[in-house]
Chains A and B, each alone.
Chain A
Amino acid sequence: MKYISDLILKMSSVDRRWIFLVIALSVILPLYFPLGLPIRPTPTTQQVYDTIDALPHGSKILVSCEYGPSTKPEIHPMVLSVLRHLFKYEHKVYVTCLWPDGQFLASEALDLVGRDEYELTYGEDYVLLGFRPGNEAVVKGIVSDIRKLYTIDAKGTKVTEIPMMNGVNRFEDFDFLFSASAGYPGTIEWVQYAADPTNVPMSTGTTSIQVNEVMPYVAAGQVQGILAGMPGAAEYEALIGVPGIGTSGMDAQSIAHLVIVLFIVLGNVGYLIERNRSKKY
């Protein structure tokens, strides 16, 4: 028994760099040797899917990209999957960005899904309106008069010359909003200044760290479901039947979580043993 407690004590005081190495291995190995762990959609992911699925064909959908390269692994797979789902039902997709980095990531996603996969026409089936600085003021601007804020799209084309912009003057002209958000400004600002005052339904995909913050809006029915981090993206990929980066990362995610839990337990057991010994002597 003493040998085991000594071993645990030794392990709990190991150099932190060994822990980093073990975490790195627990992420890399499942990426090379996938385990194929099952992915089951949570009710909040299912809610996002069902809400989008229930929209009438050819609806006007606003997708807002509030993320950057630092959060790309979590949010980008969601955007790709949601775009695939939207384009499948021939919805018209309008993309805005509250983050400057969101613009080129949104452009990348639209080129991949809209142009290459679905062979759709820019300006007729989808449009990238781009980034405007101003945080919640931009959301308010879109709600009151989108044309005042966006006179040109991200390519510099006048919105009056974009066919799919006909009849789009304010936020209420959209049938649905999907906010792909990694922080401020993002989902919460869309709820506060757009969805709640106008009753236009919205769903969101957020980084894991934001989930606790946004979940109360989902529970209160202000947001129709949430894609929670990379697992949310993987679940959505499973629902639309197109596996991507989210799915391939889930094995690594599960194993890494298991290892972290193990470290937490080990650290706490070590602490308890140490405390008991110091009490004894």
Chain B
Amino acid sequence: MFGEIFGAWVAVFLTFAIFSFLYKDNPFYKIAEHIFVGVSAGYWTSMFFWTQIQPNLFGRLWPSAQYSDGFWYGIYNFFGMISSSIFPEGGIDKGHDMHLTYLIPFALGIMMLLSLFKKLSWFARWGIAYTVGMAAGLRAYGYLNSNVLGQIRGTIIPLADPDLPMFSLLGASHFNNLIILVGTVTGLLYFFFSKEHKGNFGKVTRVGIYFLMISFGASFGFAVMGRISLLIGRFVELITYSSAQYHHATLWVLVIMVGLLGYSAYNDKDNPETERS
């Protein structure tokens, strides 16, 4: 119970500390910002290590299923003396067989880490080259199949289907299909730069710009909606933590923080540098 209440107070403090930036940059905001960066980096590193490197890399190099007293597991036992939680006695039991080919990604990973040392930083290029090559190859196929072919298929729509209504607010209709056709063609033509956008061609590409602007407007609207949703989420938690169960954490933290910021503003009132928000 203490942990839950303490967690609520921390959550309230960090929420108000971040919100305080809306007033102006201040030490509370800085504290929250630094904690966020530190905790995120720590959490990600720990998750990456314990969900991938330890079970899937070390687990394949030194599986418990093939444990022996040979040289290879001698190295493992040496590491085990350094950290028995990462390298437990008798090999790593994560359901893998031994795959020494995993020494290659292991080596590439170490090469990436060598970028920390100036003289050896060139090693990192090999790891980066592998990552870039793999990602480029993987993405080329995905984009071609889903974004190019899939989307082209999606825009091949009937314009003279007798079963379709002329207008429909939602769903397929002759008018909506015509908009998809015109929007796709004019939007694509706008990005055709081999011909100057003048005359009739310019008029058509202008229609393309209008479609793009509508899309940007929709994106902005959705962005606003998203931000408000997140704000609602924070406020819902602040309201929850304002109850007696959490010793009115929201109220106390708000009062203390506003008081301290007010006191700081009062002290700085004659200093034009700090007054600027």
Q: A31-B239, A222-B154 are in contact. List 12 more A-B contacts (CB 8 A).
A: A24-B235, A27-B235, A31-B236, A103-B47, A132-B51, A151-B95, A191-B150, A207-B226, A209-B222, A216-B154, A230-B232, A231-B225
Q: Within the assembled complex, what's the spacing in Å between the Cα atoms of A249 and B226?
A: 12
The distance from the CB of A30 to the nearest CB of chain B, in whole angstroms, is 9
Asked if B235 and A72 make an inter-chain contact with CB atoms under 8 angstroms apart, the answer reads no
Write out the residue numbers on chain A whose beta carbons fall within 8 Å of the beta carbon of B145. Answer: 192, 196-197
Of residues 78 through 134 on chain A, the ones whose CB sits less than 8 Å from some CB of chain B are: 100-101, 103, 130-134
Write out the residue numbers on chain A whose beta carbons fall within 8 Å of the beta carbon of B235. Answer: 24, 27-28, 31, 252
Q: Within the assembled complex, what's the spacing in Å between the Cα atoms of A43 and B44?
A: 38
Say if the beta carbon of B230 comes within 8 Å of chain A: yes
Say if the beta carbon of B244 comes within 8 Å of chain A: no
Asked if B146 and A191 make an inter-chain contact with CB atoms under 8 angstroms apart, the answer reads yes
Write out the residue numbers on chain B whose beta carbons fall within 8 Å of the beta carbon of A193. Answer: 138, 142
The distance from the CB of A250 to the nearest CB of chain B, in whole angstroms, is 9
Closest to B11 in A: A69
**A257 in contact with B51 given A151-B96, A189-B142 (CB within 8 Å):** no
Of residues 25 through 44 on chain A, the ones whose CB sits less than 8 Å from some CB of chain B are: 27-28, 31-32, 42-43
Q: Within the assembled complex, what's the spacing in Å between the Cα atoms of A217 and B236?
A: 33
Name 20 interchain pairs, CB-CB below 8 A, sorted by A: A20-B22, A24-B231, A42-B170, A132-B51, A132-B52, A133-B51, A137-B134, A191-B150, A192-B139, A193-B138, A209-B222, A220-B153, A220-B154, A222-B154, A231-B225, A249-B233, A249-B236, A253-B232, A256-B231, A257-B224
Write out the residue numbers on chain A whose beta carbons fall within 8 Å of the beta carbon of B155. Answer: 220
Of residues 145 through 187 on chain B, the ones whose CB sits less than 8 Å from some CB of chain A are: 145-147, 150-151, 153-155, 170-171, 180
Asked if A209 and B232 make an inter-chain contact with CB atoms under 8 angstroms apart, the answer reads no
Say if the beta carbon of B84 comes within 8 Å of chain A: no
Write out the residue numbers on chain A whose beta carbons fall within 8 Å of the beta carbon of B151. Answer: 216, 220
Say if the beta carbon of B115 comes within 8 Å of chain A: no
**Interface hit among A57-65, A152-160, A166-174:** A152-160
Q: Among the listed A28, A136, A207, which residue makes an inter-chain contact with B139, where contact means beta carbons less than 8 Å apart?
A: A136
Number of B interface residues in the complex (CB < 8 A): 50
Write out the residue numbers on chain B whose beta carbons fall within 8 Å of the beta carbon of A278. Answer: none
Q: Within the assembled complex, what's the spacing in Å between the Cα atoms of A23 and B277?
A: 19
- Closest 5 pairs between A and B when the two form their complex, measured CB to CB: A73-B233, A220-B154, A192-B142, A208-B226, A151-B95
Write out the residue numbers on chain B whose beta carbons fall within 8 Å of the beta carbon of A219. Answer: 154, 180
Write out the residue numbers on chain A whose beta carbons fall within 8 Å of the beta carbon of B239. Answer: 28, 31-32
Asked if B43 and A17 make an inter-chain contact with CB atoms under 8 angstroms apart, the answer reads no
Asked if B55 and A72 make an inter-chain contact with CB atoms under 8 angstroms apart, the answer reads no
Asked if A222 and B146 make an inter-chain contact with CB atoms under 8 angstroms apart, the answer reads yes
State the majority secondary structure of interface residues on A: helix
Q: Which residues of B come within 8 Å of A, CB atoms?
A: 22-23, 43-44, 47-48, 51-52, 55-56, 59, 94-96, 134-135, 138-139, 142-143, 145-147, 150-151, 153-155, 170-171, 180, 215, 218-219, 222-226, 228-236, 239, 277
The distance from the CB of B102 to the nearest CB of chain A, in whole angstroms, is 12
Say if the beta carbon of A212 comes within 8 Å of chain B: yes
Say if the beta carbon of A245 comes within 8 Å of chain B: yes
The number of inter-chain residue pairs (CB within 8 angstroms) is: 153
From B171, B215, B222, B235, residue with most partner A Cβ within 10 Å: B222
B-contact bits for A198-214, CB 8 A (1 contact / 0 none): 00000000011111100
Write out the residue numbers on chain A whose beta carbons fall within 8 Å of the beta carbon of B94. Answer: 151-152, 158
B-contact bits for A224-242, CB 8 A (1 contact / 0 none): 0000111100000000000
Write out the residue numbers on chain B whose beta carbons fall within 8 Å of the beta carbon of A260. Answer: 224, 228
Asked if B218 and A212 make an inter-chain contact with CB atoms under 8 angstroms apart, the answer reads yes
Q: Within the assembled complex, what's the spacing in Å between the Cα atoms of A154 and B184?
A: 44
Asked if B48 and A196 make an inter-chain contact with CB atoms under 8 angstroms apart, the answer reads no
Q: Within the assembled complex, what's the spacing in Å between the Cα atoms of A196 and B152?
A: 14
The distance from the CB of B161 to the nearest CB of chain A, in whole angstroms, is 16
The distance from the CB of B158 to the nearest CB of chain A, in whole angstroms, is 14
Say if the beta carbon of A248 comes within 8 Å of chain B: yes
The distance from the CB of A229 to the nearest CB of chain B, in whole angstroms, is 6
Asked if B47 and A27 make an inter-chain contact with CB atoms under 8 angstroms apart, the answer reads no
**A73 in contact with B134 given A216-B151, A217-B146, A229-B225 (CB within 8 Å):** no
Asked if A151 and B59 make an inter-chain contact with CB atoms under 8 angstroms apart, the answer reads yes
From B138, B145, B155, B226, residue with most partner A Cβ within 10 Å: B226
Q: Among the listed A32, A151, A222, A229, which residue makes an inter-chain contact with B55, where contact means beta carbons less than 8 Å apart?
A: A151
